[in-house]
Structure 1
Amino acid sequence: MAVNGPTGGPVLPAHPDPWLEDVLRGPLPHELAYAFGGPYHLLLPHRFDRNTAAFEAALDEAGVTGQVHYAKKANKAAVWIERCAAHGIGVDVASAGELRETLAHGVRGEDVVVTGPAKDGELLRVAVLQGCLVTVDAPDELERVITVAGGTRPVRVLLRRLPPGQPDSRFGLDDAELGTALRRCRDARDTVRLEGFSFHLAGYEAGPRAALAHELIEWCRRARASGHPADRISIGGGFAVDYVDAADWERFTRAQRPTDYHAGRSFTTADFYPYHSPLAGADMLRAVLAARPAGGGATLAARLRGAGVRLLLEPGRALLDRAGCTVFRVQGVKERDGYGILTVNGTSLSLSEQWFGSEYLPDPVLLREPPGDTGGEEPFRACVGGATCLEPDLLTWRRIVLPHRPRPGDLLVYPNTAGYQMDSNESPFHDLPLPPKAVLEDAHGRVRWRLDRRTPC
């Protein structure tokens, strides 16, 4: 743990990953930087496997029947879908392109949940033909689903609930709309099979998710009374990821101030993702399953078992925890007002927290070229800029503390970027190539790599 760097700035190291650290200490990162000639991403499928297994174990421990669906929007790489197909994990998609990629890499249509608002006709047509489970977000969408399904096969649907605690959300059906939708599905029972209900909540708290899941069980009972199967609910995603140690996070948020950032950029703690979470990943699911209603009663797990309701969940970031990192090469270093400004061979579009007007906080790691050469220099503080002509193109506004002054050719590795950071905003701006993704695997103690097999658009 660390409070401040040796030059006085706040530091925030990511949780250690011994296997990846061994890889980064060797020649491979520098060889790939030379081969690709630009920034690149490293993907670790064994971490994805471990995370999905942890969620499934939490369901098994609670005696709950359910299914994990990987939220594909969190990362475009094909390797995650390949792992889903290999292990029977479902996938959550929200576009025709995502559905096409998912089916092409071996996931069965019946294991796909189609989410998102106002789905277009092509997406609905393929989803119906492939037997996907379609979440219905609005009354007019239900009518489109019925129209598309007519003459083919009954479409499997979930009705998406507008969260009562988030009434300004643009997603979901309110109480009156749900009641109307139940009747419409009953009238169209030859075309529509209502399998249950879903929701997605903003934020990362277990309590609100458990409370709304308790409510959806009652909606399933009500739907069954109207003749619908209604045997499952989806609680969506929003499972937190724990990036850093609790003490480091507390000290960082207390110590950071505007003078720690380039150009006086100011952030509050509320601007940041909660990089430390005491309940994260599968442990957060355990907390949801153990929660009881506000007035007391059985746990959510017990109520799901008693009602014969399956639990579906759609984590994205949480399945990608520690499953990848992003590597940039330093192109230049300048000093101004007592700190450095690094320029790397990529852009902030490959570190997508900037999308939210925020900052990706876990400290990057500096790799010297040649490897292991520290040069005996003093610690060095610097912000990190991209290789574009845009003033706000900064990967890191904070003046991070590096062990020594970087040199052109050194590598800067941002840890744990697989979840939403790598490619949500990627763009070939300035005709810069998109960073390739290299999949790393341990083959009996030998590290091997290959390019990801994503189908070109």
Structure 2
Amino acid sequence: MTSLCHGLPPLTGRTEPWMEQLLADPDQCADLLSAHGSALNLLDFGPLGRNIGELTRAGADLGVEVGVFVARKANKALSLISAAVDAGAGLDVASYAELKQCLDRGVEAGRIIVTAAVKDKALLTLAITSRVTVSLDNVDETADVVAIAAKEGIRARVALRLAVTHPSVPPTRFGLTADSWLAFLRDRGELLEVEGVHFHLNGYDRQHRVLALAEACSFIDRLRDAGHPVGYIDMGGGIPMSYLEDEQSWRAFWQALAADADGTLTWRGDRLGLTDPALDRPSPALYPYWQRETRGAWLTALLSTPVDGTTAAQLLTSRGLQLRCEPGRSVLDGCGVTLAEVVFRKTTSDGVPLVGLQMNRTQMRSTSADVLIDPRWLRPSRAGTPSAPGEAFLVGAYCIEEELILRRRLAFPQGVARGDIAVFLNTAGYLMHILESPSHQLPLAQNLVHRDGDWIPDGES
């Protein structure tokens, strides 16, 4: 059967068997939308354990114990908490609500770390009194931790967030230098149990993380000399994944965009951050939706990389250090889709075709300039009469000119009907939740979880 929708050029997304089973039944999808509203998030956490296992096995093959702490901020579904624990992982939390949800569901304190960029006193108090580790970012925050620990008469479990200073690693706003931390601990560290060293790097550069690991190991040597029995390095997130089926389509898109002098492939000729068309390669303004090394293979390569006359793995094993990480999208790969119903078809005042979806752009978007994955298109039996074949842009519910769901032009070889369903693939990691907004007082999308063959509201047993 001819595809009902594809990008120009196509960017075909990877799927899981449960997704294909869902997509094979358009009427079931229509029933779910009718019952729960559009947009609608569908989650199946089956692939989570596989993805986590891929990381832990990669470490074990090189003698490194890897502890995975799933980034709670990547998806707000309560079901993710138990799914992560069942898969042998912990949780990385970034707010009071996220921490309390984990504690209320019986997650052990040792399987939680608080990494919020800004930590209020309520969050710090709950973490400290619950014996949850806090990743410390700055002196002011640490002073609050010391004050709370003193008031409660306990020592706070902490990891020190290291601001990596190697000249080959881009500057960061996160953490403090080793010298700054050591000075603080020397003067006011008696109420802190320093369990680990943490760092947070932007992007996905493997070499940057190797250099950061080496610097963290040197820091740990100094901490141990000062009497702090540090047991792990936490390298945060940034573990790559691929959304697309193959590299060829990814490269073809950038070549086409570079050659698109008339600006026909994107909304109003948006270059998506491509500043030099001659480069015809991905823009740093976009997430790399196709990557060669992902998850386990990436971690194996990282741990095998030479550094300081040895390898990253040997730096860790020679010190008896555990390697921790806080992946979000890479472990939620394959765990969710977002459905939205077509409600109108029209053209702009200058003749640009549009397809309106009952959703808004925050319900399928991260910080990337666009989502470069083609939607799958369904036509349930109750859909209306389709339009003629053509091309169009997807727009949403916010009353602003730039309310684009995707900024790429899409082709519809069999037209578009009211009641058609756009299915956005692989949205569980950040895309469905990180920027969602109830602006205009529109309801947030409901979250349904696949359990025992049924789709049930998240949080229900």
Aligned residue number for residue 434 of structure 1: 444
Alignment partner of 1:308 is 2:314: no
CA distance in 1, matches of 2:418, 2:224: 66
Aligned residue number for residue 51 of structure 1: 51
Aligned match of 1:266 in 258, 263, 271? 271
Alignment check: 8 A CA contact 2:159 2:198 kept: yes
- Quote the sequence identity (%): 33
CA distance in 1, matches of 2:6, 2:394: 17
**TM-score when normalising by structure 1:** 0.90
Alignment check: 8 A CA contact 1:367 1:411 kept: yes
Q: Deviations over 1:295-340 (max 9, x none)?
A: 5x22211221111111111001111112111100000112456752
| SS at structure 1 position matched to 2:342 | strand
Aligned residue number for residue 370 of structure 2: 359
Code of the residue aligned with 1:359 in structure 2: it is D
Alignment partner of 1:424 is 2:440: no
Kindly report which structure 2 residues correspond to 1:209-228, keeping only aligned pairs within 5 A, or say none. 209-228=209-228
The alpha carbon displacement at 1:86 in A equals 2.4
* Structure 2 CA distance for partners of 1:11 and 1:73, relative to 1, 3 Å: same
Q: Deviations over 1:150-192 (max 9, x none)?
A: 14321111111112255642211024313313424xx543x21
Alignment check: 8 A CA contact 2:233 2:324 kept: yes
* Structure 2 CA distance for partners of 1:42 and 1:298, relative to 1, 3 Å: same
CA distance in 1, matches of 2:317, 2:328: 26
Alignment check: 8 A CA contact 2:388 2:414 kept: yes
Aligned residue number for residue 19 of structure 1: 18
CA distance in 2, matches of 1:250, 1:28: 35
**TM-score when normalising by structure 2:** 0.89
**Structure 1 range deviating more: 209-218 or 170-179:** 170-179
| SS at structure 2 position matched to 1:398 | coil
Structure 1: 5+ residue runs without aligned partners?
none
**What RMSD, in angstroms, separates the aligned Cα atoms of the two structures?**
2.4
The alpha carbon displacement at 1:206 in A equals 1.3
| SS at structure 1 position matched to 2:408 | strand
CA distance in 1, matches of 2:105, 2:6: 49
Kindly report which structure 2 residues correspond to 1:157-168, keeping only aligned pairs within 5 A, or say none. 157-164=158-165, 165=168, 168=171
Kindly report which structure 2 residues correspond to 1:55-66, keeping only aligned pairs within 5 A, or say none. 55-66=55-66
The alpha carbon displacement at 1:453 in A equals 0.9
CA distance in 2, matches of 1:402, 1:47: 31
CA distance in 2, matches of 1:370, 1:281: 40
Aligned residue number for residue 349 of structure 1: 362
The alpha carbon displacement at 1:8 in A equals 9.2
Aligned residue number for residue 282 of structure 1: 296
Aligned residue number for residue 172 of structure 2: 169
| SS at structure 2 position matched to 1:260 | coil
Alignment check: 8 A CA contact 1:339 1:381 kept: no
Kindly report which structure 2 residues correspond to 1:245-264, keeping only aligned pairs within 5 A, or say none. 245-256=246-257, 257=260, 258-264=263-269
Aligned match of 1:299 in 294, 311, 323? 311
CA distance in 1, matches of 2:121, 2:48: 32
The alpha carbon displacement at 1:265 in A equals 2.5
Alignment check: 8 A CA contact 2:387 2:416 kept: no
Code of the residue aligned with 2:153 in structure 1: it is T
Code of the residue aligned with 1:83 in structure 2: it is A
Greater than 6 Å deviation, 4+ residue runs: 5-8, 373-378
Alignment partner of 1:90 is 2:77: no
Q: Deviations over 1:195-240 (max 9, x none)?
A: 1211011011111111211221121111111111112111110111
Code of the residue aligned with 1:272 in structure 2: it is L
CA distance in 1, matches of 2:458, 2:7: 40
* Structure 2 CA distance for partners of 1:13 and 1:226, relative to 1, 3 Å: same
CA distance in 2, matches of 1:224, 1:156: 16
Alignment check: 8 A CA contact 1:182 1:223 kept: no
* Structure 2 CA distance for partners of 1:180 and 1:330, relative to 1, 3 Å: same
